[in-house]
A and B are shown apart, each in its own frame.
Chain A
Amino acid sequence: MRIEGKGLIDRDSRVGFRFDGRDYMGFKGDTLASALLANGVRLVGRSFKYHRPRGILTAGSEEPNALVEILEDGQQTPNTRATVQEIFDGLQAKSQNRWPSVRFDALAINDLAAPFLSAGFYYKTFMWPRAFWEKLYEPAIRRAAGLGSLSGRHDEAVYEKAFAFCDLLVIGSGPAGLMAALTAGRAGADVILADEDARMGGRLLAETGTVGGQHGPDWVEEVLGELRAMPNVRLMTRTTVTGVHDDGTYAALERVGLHVAPRPNLPRECFWRIVARQAVLASGALERPIAFPSNDRPGIMMAGAVRAYLNRWGVAPGKRVTLFANTDAARATARDLMAAGVKVAAIIDPRPDASTVEDCPVYAGAQVIDTAGRLGLSRITIAHRGSEFRIETDCLAMSGGWNPTVHLTCHKGGRPVWNEALAAFVPAPGAVAGLIPAGSANGAMSTAACLREGRDAALSALAALDRSAPDVPLPEAEDDTYGIAPLWHVPGKGGMWKRQWLDFANDVTVKDVKLAAQENYASVEHMKRYTTQGMAPDQGKNSNVAALAVLADATGRGIPETGTTTFRPPFAPVSVAAMGAGGRGKGFAPQRFLTSHEASLERGAPMIEAGMWYRPSYFPRPGEATWREACDREVAMVRHAVGICDVSTLGKIDIQGRDAARFLDFVYTNTFSTLPVGRVRYGLMLREDGHVMDDGTTARLGETHFLMTTTTAAAGQVMRHLDFVRQAYCAGWDVHCLSVTENWAQFAVAGPKARALLNSVLDAPVDPEAFPFMACGPVRVHGVDARLFRISFSGEEGYEIAVPARYGEALFRDLLARAETMGGGPYGMEALNVLRLEKGFITHAEIHGRVTAFDIGMERMISPKKDCIGKAAAQRPGLMGPEREQLVGLKPTLPDQMLTAGAHLFTPGEEVCRASDQGYVTSVGPSATLGHWIGLAFLKNGRARNGEMVRVVDHLRKIDILAEVCDPVFHDPEGRKLRA
């Protein structure tokens, strides 16, 4: 019911929205909760476990009941708090965890079964038979209990991540936060003021009191006006600070576009990382319910929320309201309602000595002991001075006092401390370095105290920032007493139908907590897990303190001794989509494209990703139905004519300096100082633990100038390694290392016609006598200065030609055209793999981090004449000898049998089990040259087992064949072709 003349909503802007298939009207400024209440909708959802009818409890982000699904364009966002979601034209929402409807929910049958569903029921009930858990019990429980549901589609909406920096972060914009921001802003500090609400002002928007002689919201507007005019102040509304992390870093979630109809490019949410030198925690306090019998009916709300709906949104949540509260402060709810013309049927105050002077009936020393109304409150029963009587009411406002919102002070391990006078936990002093709690978050319970604490916190922060403090006078404000007498729960006659609810979100009752204590889950942490209290989306914001008070009572301890569970980030739910913004699909990692990329795509080459590079897998020709046909053709093409392959992805490291050769001798196992200028040498690099790190060739371009190539996969690792070795072990040496991978486009030209092709593009032809295998040198191609290396990864006469990357595409297209004229063409990764396998050349499939030089048969490459990184460690016992798995070749006994990488090797006749494992297959390929599959494998004492049969078992692909162990070099073992 809307009250004329009340509220901060824009009554000129009407907003139409839909809830559970019905159309409603609200006003701009309404939340879904306030608009539903204004339309008389009290029932908005069903509870988690028992499917109890539930209504709106609070007016803030702590809401445990009013969780809804928001629908848009086939998507649905579950568990959205109706108290947070603002309405906009076209908003569609529906209630969740009910079937078929919220008014008639078939699963409410659970409520009748409540006697069997007490705390820990599934631990006790579903233990047997064991196999039933996964197949029957768990799915049934998940179906019956729960929250909202997802659409099942990918969330393709836009999300954003961002960073911000400031001198002072003020968390919360109530009286304390505004004073803190104003004080620091006037001092010239860079201030970020963040509030989770759409509108700044905190409780001042929900109360009728004055600040500095002005109506609260007017004072708020005045302060915000001044703050907006300051270039050093940034106001962030709809931004919830969710976590405190290291070194003054705060996580925050901003609802950017959730309050308007979706528009292109507008992020739904932004996940902020705010780095603040100082912070003020002015997050306020959360009102706590009282656990009286049947306290969960729609229409039973927090007293502060009732006040907020009345004063901020102009909504009376009921026509005959009753108030059940144990503080002086909560009386404002009754007074505000009466002043607005709403009937207040009674004030029930559990404090025997409470004042009874109000304009409505007041029952001091009374308690609510029962309620009625199936889908909404209709009546309450009161116990007062030994008698019981009933009052008709459709809205009961309750308050058990307030809990300071201490959550963020716990994120670095701080434990809140009990304050007897407030009957609440307050932040531990110095809980987070640089985070100063102020206002209600720090236990200040009057507006005047909040204003003062806010200003003082800012002054402390300014002192820490070495900034002089401005003179900011404190406005006058309400400074009433709080006057709390704790009441956690109202003992009832008990019985299943008069349960006293503590945790509305997870359906945890007083009885559950007592049962936990009785079953010796007496520690607050155990009680929490046994009952699931505090484990729902509200994370116990509404129930935490009352639950542990009940536990304290049940275990005969005080609340301070019982202690509290603490809070981890996030303070409020954060969508994973926001944290991972931009990372969906191809956003997961950068895409690295070769200069030849477009040309390869034009030829229909499918791409595979290698070290973020997109490399062509094969180049299909018309009529080729499978990769295999293309691969076989490309292999034959290289063996018989000429093939072109873009090999620019290999790491290239430019190494210069007087000590460059000495440096290479140190990082490589073999010697490079003896390498003549104009020659290339294969090198092997070990890690410090003696295992192989990488291999590749290094060319000597000049006396003090080398060019190292690394594998594609290890390019970054090797660069890092060289930097480390240079700085840590070779300080003072004259050696400079720098990656030039990206600077050069490099193409392999391989095959019997490779030289002929090259000579058609080079300004001066290559003479095989002057340019033998493993030669290198400068050349000119089409007038461009280039580098030529005579190296081969295919076993054919091979060259690699490198040009500055700007010419890469042009050269690639030119080489392809010429190669095709000569009966050749491009080859992709599949053919490259087969070609190298036929030659027994290794890749990181073999040097995967657990193998030594001995394992791959290269132990003689560790020079005895010099030291190198990993040399000593490589000689440790156990790293050499017959017990090692050694590199071998494999060929299947039948020609059409396929080998698979990852298969394990066993001795024929022995049991196939882990203990008898003899090794594993690392790489396989269909050898077009040999006409059967070939593979490389590591086999125990493999080199001595040449000619033996092994059983190759691939459990995943269900393959079990016999293969013959052979030398890893299948093709041209003498290397005559590559030296041609």
Chain B
Amino acid sequence: MPSLIAKTPLEGTWPVTHGGLTLAEVELTRVTSVSAPKVGRDLAAGLKALGVSFPKPNQFTGFDAVRMVWTSMDQAFMIGGDPSGLSGAVMTDQSDGWACLRLEGAGADQALMRLVPLDLRRDAFPPGAAARAPLNHMQMILMRLEPDCFELLVFRSMARTAWHEIEEAMKSLAARAGLV
């Protein structure tokens, strides 16, 4: 048992709600990058055993327990699963490099479109869609879980800036309510 105390990237930050939107940190247990120029039989079988498959570009597979999200050419991040049973791919532990934030509520896409230059209309970016895109000036991996629920990964060191900027967008959106 480690005797060092572990901290999440946004330890001490509580979920905030502005208008109908809630922003919260999601604790990442295990994140593994899986790189494979070709998804061979071994890798496919290993992923299948975890309930996921290698995602196509700009998509993710799986959901809560194990998720595979496309991150770049020949590469995906496995979120939540134990990679020890996988073979046929190069893997790197990424569990501590990223902070995960969840933005939920009606109009979550509108808040994100203050910061993300992507078309997040539901048809263009439906549940199951993923993208590597800038969040203002930051790197981000964005996933739409449900029509009004997004999760996004940002660099651990920038988590506080990401939190601040998303919260500002939520606040200014909420302040518009009732404006005639």
> Among residues 7 to 55 in chain B, which have CB atoms less than 8 Å away from a CB atom of chain A?
7-9, 33, 35
User: Which residue from A162, A190, A593, A806 sits with its C-beta under 8 Å from B157?
Assistant: A593
Query: Does the CB pair B6–A810 fall under 8 Å?
Result: yes
Q: Give every chain B residue within 8 A of A808 (Cβ-Cβ).
A: 7
Alpha-carbon distance A163/B158, docked complex (angstroms): 22
Known interface pairs A738-B33, A806-B8; A257-B117 also in contact (CB < 8 Å): no
Alpha-carbon distance A806/B161, docked complex (angstroms): 18
Known interface pairs A160-B114, A190-B121; A592-B179 also in contact (CB < 8 Å): no
**CB of A935 closer than 8 Å to a CB of B:** no
**CB of A181 closer than 8 Å to a CB of B:** no
Q: Mark B92-135, 1 if CB is under 8 A from A, else 0.
A: 11111110000000000000011011110100100000000000
Alpha-carbon distance A807/B3, docked complex (angstroms): 10
Known interface pairs A736-B35, A738-B33; A783-B3 also in contact (CB < 8 Å): yes
Q: Which of A262-270, A420-428, A964-972 lies on the face that meets chain B?
A: A262-270
Q: Which residue of A lies closest to B125 (CB)?
A: A165
Query: Does the CB pair B155–A592 fall under 8 Å?
Result: yes
Alpha-carbon distance A806/B156, docked complex (angstroms): 10
**CB of A377 closer than 8 Å to a CB of B:** no
Alpha-carbon distance A256/B174, docked complex (angstroms): 12
Q: Give every chain B residue within 8 A of A260 (Cβ-Cβ).
A: 179
Alpha-carbon distance A807/B172, docked complex (angstroms): 35
Query: Does the CB pair B5–A592 fall under 8 Å?
Result: no
Alpha-carbon distance A806/B172, docked complex (angstroms): 32
How many whole Å from A81's CB to the nearest CB in chain B? Answer: 21
Known interface pairs A736-B90, A742-B98; A163-B117 also in contact (CB < 8 Å): yes
Query: Does the CB pair A593–B172 fall under 8 Å?
Result: no
Q: Give every chain A residue within 8 A of B117 (Cβ-Cβ).
A: 163, 273
Known interface pairs A275-B119, A806-B8; A613-B93 also in contact (CB < 8 Å): no
Q: Give every chain B residue within 8 A of A158 (Cβ-Cβ).
A: 168, 172
Known interface pairs A263-B175, A582-B136; A165-B97 also in contact (CB < 8 Å): no
User: Which residue from A591, A613, A743, A810 sits with its C-beta under 8 Å from B7?
Assistant: A810
Q: Give every chain B residue within 8 A of A591 (Cβ-Cβ).
A: 158, 160-161
**CB of A859 closer than 8 Å to a CB of B:** no
Query: Does the CB pair A743–B96 fall under 8 Å?
Result: yes
**CB of A740 closer than 8 Å to a CB of B:** yes
Query: Does the CB pair A744–B96 fall under 8 Å?
Result: yes
- Size of the A side of the interface (Cβ < 8 Å), in residues, is 55
User: Which residue from B121, B124, B161, B179 sits with its C-beta under 8 Å from A266?
Assistant: B179
Q: Give every chain A residue within 8 A of B162 (Cβ-Cβ).
A: 590
Q: Which residue of A lies closest to B112 (CB)?
A: A163
Majority-rule SS of B interface residues:
loop
Alpha-carbon distance A804/B118, docked complex (angstroms): 32
Query: Does the CB pair A657–B90 fall under 8 Å?
Result: yes
Q: Give every chain B residue within 8 A of A811 (Cβ-Cβ).
A: 4
> Among residues 567 to 596 in chain A, which have CB atoms less than 8 Å away from a CB atom of chain B?
582, 587, 589-595
Known interface pairs A162-B114, A266-B172, A807-B4; A743-B95 also in contact (CB < 8 Å): yes
**CB of A496 closer than 8 Å to a CB of B:** no
User: Which residue from B5, B95, B98 sits with its C-beta under 8 Å from A810?
Assistant: B5
Q: Mark B69-111, 1 if CB is under 8 A from A, else 0.
A: 0000101000000000000001011111110000000000000
Query: Does the CB pair A267–B96 fall under 8 Å?
Result: no
Q: Give every chain A residue within 8 A of B73 (Cβ-Cβ).
A: 727
How many whole Å from A727's CB to the nearest CB in chain B? Answer: 8
**CB of A803 closer than 8 Å to a CB of B:** yes
> Among residues 697 to 748 in chain A, which have CB atoms less than 8 Å away from a CB atom of chain B?
727, 736, 738-745
How many whole Å from B47's CB to the nearest CB in chain A? Answer: 18
Q: Which residue of A lies closest to B71 (CB)?
A: A738
Query: Does the CB pair A743–B93 fall under 8 Å?
Result: yes
Query: Does the CB pair A738–B75 fall under 8 Å?
Result: yes
How many whole Å from A731's CB to the nearest CB in chain B? Answer: 10
Q: Give every chain A residue within 8 A of B114 (Cβ-Cβ).
A: 160-163
**CB of A164 closer than 8 Å to a CB of B:** yes
Alpha-carbon distance A950/B4, docked complex (angstroms): 54
Q: Give every chain B residue within 8 A of A807 (Cβ-Cβ).
A: 2, 4-6
Q: Give every chain A residue within 8 A of B148 (Cβ-Cβ).
A: none
Alpha-carbon distance A783/B169, docked complex (angstroms): 42
Query: Does the CB pair B179–A256 fall under 8 Å?
Result: yes
Query: Does the CB pair B90–A804 fall under 8 Å?
Result: no
Alpha-carbon distance A638/B137, docked complex (angstroms): 37
Q: Give every chain B residue within 8 A of A744 (Cβ-Cβ).
A: 96
**CB of A784 closer than 8 Å to a CB of B:** yes
How many whole Å from A252's CB to the nearest CB in chain B? Answer: 14
Alpha-carbon distance A267/B168, docked complex (angstroms): 10
**CB of B1 closer than 8 Å to a CB of A:** yes
How many whole Å from B75's CB to the nearest CB in chain A? Answer: 7
Query: Does the CB pair B7–A595 fall under 8 Å?
Result: yes
How many whole Å from A768's CB to the nearest CB in chain B? Answer: 25
Q: Mark A265-283, 1 if CB is under 8 A from B, else 0.
A: 1110000010100000000
**CB of A654 closer than 8 Å to a CB of B:** yes
Query: Does the CB pair A163–B2 fall under 8 Å?
Result: no
Known interface pairs A164-B113, A810-B6, A811-B4; A742-B97 also in contact (CB < 8 Å): yes
Q: Give every chain A residue within 8 A of B113 (Cβ-Cβ).
A: 162-164
Q: Give every chain B residue within 8 A of A162 (Cβ-Cβ).
A: 113-114
Query: Does the CB pair A742–B156 fall under 8 Å?
Result: yes
User: Which residue from B2, B94, B158, B174 sits with its C-beta under 8 Å from A592?
Assistant: B158
User: Which residue from B4, B9, B161 sits with its C-beta under 8 Å from A784?
Assistant: B4
Alpha-carbon distance A260/B137, docked complex (angstroms): 31
**CB of A23 closer than 8 Å to a CB of B:** no
Alpha-carbon distance A808/B5, docked complex (angstroms): 9
Alpha-carbon distance A745/B155, docked complex (angstroms): 13
**CB of A632 closer than 8 Å to a CB of B:** no
Known interface pairs A783-B3, A804-B95; A165-B171 also in contact (CB < 8 Å): no
**CB of A41 closer than 8 Å to a CB of B:** no
Q: Mark A148-164, 1 if CB is under 8 A from B, else 0.
A: 00000000001011111
How many whole Å from A634's CB to the nearest CB in chain B? Answer: 24
Q: Mark A734-774, 1 if CB is under 8 A from B, else 0.
A: 00101111111100000000000000000000000000000
**CB of A776 closer than 8 Å to a CB of B:** no
**CB of A456 closer than 8 Å to a CB of B:** no
**CB of A927 closer than 8 Å to a CB of B:** no
Q: Which residue of A lies closest to B165 (CB)?
A: A582
Q: Which residue of B lies closest to A592 (CB)?
A: B157
Query: Does the CB pair A782–B4 fall under 8 Å?
Result: yes
Q: Which residue of A lies closest to B33 (CB)?
A: A738
Alpha-carbon distance A266/B172, docked complex (angstroms): 5
**CB of A814 closer than 8 Å to a CB of B:** yes
Query: Does the CB pair B175–A738 fall under 8 Å?
Result: no
**CB of A809 closer than 8 Å to a CB of B:** yes
Please indicate which of the listed interface residues A587, A595, A805 has the most CB atoms of chain B within 10 Å of its own CB.
A805
Query: Does the CB pair A738–B4 fall under 8 Å?
Result: no
How many whole Å from A90's CB to the nearest CB in chain B? Answer: 16
How many whole Å from B135's CB to the nearest CB in chain A? Answer: 9
How many whole Å from B12's CB to the nearest CB in chain A? Answer: 9
**CB of A781 closer than 8 Å to a CB of B:** yes
How many whole Å from A123's CB to the nearest CB in chain B? Answer: 44
Known interface pairs A190-B121, A806-B8; A783-B165 also in contact (CB < 8 Å): no
Q: Give every chain B residue within 8 A of A500 (Cβ-Cβ).
A: none
**CB of A900 closer than 8 Å to a CB of B:** no
User: Which residue from A165, A257, A781, A803 sits with its C-beta under 8 Å from B179?
Assistant: A257
Alpha-carbon distance A225/B45, docked complex (angstroms): 56
- The 28 listed contacts between A and B (C-beta, < 8 Å) are A161-B114, A162-B113, A163-B114, A165-B121, A257-B179, A265-B175, A275-B119, A582-B136, A589-B137, A590-B158, A592-B157, A592-B161, A594-B157, A654-B92, A656-B90, A738-B35, A738-B94, A741-B97, A742-B156, A743-B96, A783-B1, A783-B4, A806-B6, A806-B95, A807-B4, A809-B7, A810-B5, A810-B7
The 4 closest A-B pairs by CB, nearest first: A743-B97, A742-B97, A805-B96, A592-B157
Apart from A256-B176, A738-B75, A738-B94, list 13 A-B contacts with CB within 8 A: A160-B114, A163-B113, A266-B176, A590-B137, A590-B138, A590-B161, A591-B160, A593-B157, A738-B35, A742-B97, A744-B96, A806-B96, A807-B5
